[in-house]
Amino acid sequence: MTSTNPEYADMTSDFTASIKALSDGAALLEVAGEVDLTTAPLLEAQFQFLVERGLTEVVVDATSVTFMDSSGLRALLEGEKIIHKKGSGVYLVPSRQVRRLLELISAEPLLTGQFGTVEEAVAALERGHE
């Protein structure tokens, strides 16, 4: 299943997000482009969209994010909170730019986990189910 929150699908050409179901209660959120003051609310809304559909374990593939500012980081951390309230977590696969931002402000401990590849993140999520 692939879906994009239709309310936010075409609001900006600099940001895209798509959702793919992985397993029961888990999803892959693929994010691409720029996550800044204009697009950060769209990212945060994707997390709410997932929770409303019962998808509360999320792998975020941010490897195609070309830019993220503090607004984007706030949206990512708010997304983590939204998901964490349901007892689950966000497994992040950051781009070089996102990883650098997280390192600069020491935000790594605020996230469930960071991984080098989507496959590694999915495997970690599945290990959590064992």
Question: What DSSP string runs through 46-113?
Answer: HHHHHHHTT--EEEEEEEEEEEE-HHHHHHHHHHHHHHHTTT--EEEEE-HHHHHHHHHTT-GGGSSE
Average pLDDT over residues 100-119: 85
**How do the domains of the chain map onto residue ranges?**
2-124
Verdict on whether the full-model pTM lies above 0.95: no
> What is the dotted CATH code of the domain comprising 2-124?
3.30.750.24
Residue owning tokens 């980081």: 73
pLDDT digits (tens, 9 = 90+) for 5-54: 544 444 545 899 999 999 888 999 999 999 999 999 999 999 999 999 99
Portion of the chain with pLDDT greater than 70, in percent: 87
Residues linked to residue 70 through DSSP beta bridges, in sequence order: none
Average pLDDT over residues 67-80: 94
